[in-house]
Amino acid sequence: MQIMHSAKERLRRAIRDIQDFPRAGVVFKDITPIIEDGQLFRLAVTVFGDLYKRKSIEQIVAIDARGFLFGSALAYVLGTGISVVRKKGKLPYKTIAASYDLEYGTNTVEMHTDSIIPGQRVLIIDDVLATGGTATAAVTLVRQLGGQVVEAAFLMELSFLHGREKLAPVPCYSIINYQTP
């Protein structure tokens, strides 16, 4: 428990706040100091791995683009494959799409139609859970392809944006929680 606490603290201390990026009023949580440091990157993946090796995960679904970093390392640890949720227009084969509202306008994400085996037990992963719009769209796509979403995992959660409630009843796990902006 103590080890877990200090692991979280080390990761939290490495995350860099960038004010007003990508636009005024947003505090961007920059995870590059974690992935650039071999020990910290391994620590983050180990925390996820220790949790999910007991949950019979059969496939990782990772969200464009920073979800790919943690998702692929975790898939390697768990011995699963990795399916990708990409921004519209990036995937070459047949796709299904889901759109969600942003503060201004909408966003669309896509998956390949054959990227999930029906019945597969899926873990969705991304770096940040903010409003939950992106992860909810990922849940919609996985279910449309017949997958079973076991849980959604994030390096960090901005809990003041209530993404967890939007994702419910899909269980959420985050290593680090920010309760205020």
Binder among 15, 44, 129, 153 for ligand AMP (CB under 6 A): 129
Q: Among 10, 54, 66, 143, which one carries the catalytic annotation?
A: 66
Q: Is 58 in the active site?
A: no
Rounded Cα gap, residues 8 and 3, in angstroms: 9
Rounded Cα gap, residues 163 and 126, in angstroms: 13
Binder among 140, 147, 163, 164 for ligand AMP (CB under 6 A): 163
Residues numbered 59 to 98 that lie near ligand AMP (CB under 6 A) are 63, 66
Q: Which two tokens stand for residue 48?
A: 């996820």
Our finding on whether 28 is near ligand AMP (CB under 6 A) is yes
5-13, 23-31, 90-98, 141-149 -> range binding ligand AMP (CB under 6 A): 23-31
Q: Is 151 in the active site?
A: no
Distance of closest approach, residue 59 Cβ to ligand AMP, in angstroms:
19
27-35, 72-80, 82-90, 115-123 -> range binding ligand AMP (CB under 6 A): 27-35
Distance of closest approach, residue 2 Cβ to ligand AMP, in angstroms:
29
Q: Which two tokens stand for residue 17?
A: 């706040």
- DSSP states of 94-122: -EEEEEEE-SSSEEEEEEETTSS-TT-EE
78-86, 87-95, 114-122, 130-138 -> range binding ligand AMP (CB under 6 A): 130-138
Pairing of strands 106-112, 81-87: antiparallel
Q: Which is nearer to ligand AMP, 146 or 181 (CB)?
A: 181
Binder among 91, 125, 133, 139 for ligand AMP (CB under 6 A): 133
Rounded Cα gap, residues 64 and 89, in angstroms: 12
The HSE-up count of residue 75 (CA atoms within 13 Å, CB side) is 22
Rounded Cα gap, residues 149 and 59, in angstroms: 10
In order of 68, 81, 152, 168, the CA distances from 74 in angstroms are: 10, 10, 13, 23
Our finding on whether 29 is near ligand AMP (CB under 6 A) is yes
Q: Which two tokens stand for residue 2?
A: 């103590």
- Give residues in contact with ligand AMP (CB under 6 A): 26-29, 63, 66, 126-135, 163
> Which residues are part of the catalytic machinery?
66, 103
